Amino acid sequence: MTNEHDNTGSDAQARDDYKAVMRHVAEGSSVEPELARRVRERAEEITDEIRREHGDIDVVKLLHDAREDL
């Protein structure tokens, strides 16, 4: 089951990296440098994609607006 916010998609490397990071979190162990590099690069690609689609997002304004809606 996937959703629109699941960035692991069908990329086997991304899924494997996700599982490895979760294993390290559960064990409290350090992430290997190569794994960290791949995750960081993927995060940068996702951030760039969001910026292309939506422009820069003012997080402070976003949070302020969200509080006003409560």
The 10s digit of each residue's pLDDT in 17-60 is 999 999 999 999 999 999 999 999 999 999 999 999 989 888 89
- Which tokens sit at 47? 């951030």
Distances (CA, A) of 56 to 59, 64, 65: 9, 16, 16
pTM over 0.85: no
**Among 37, 6, 9, CA closest to 21:** 37
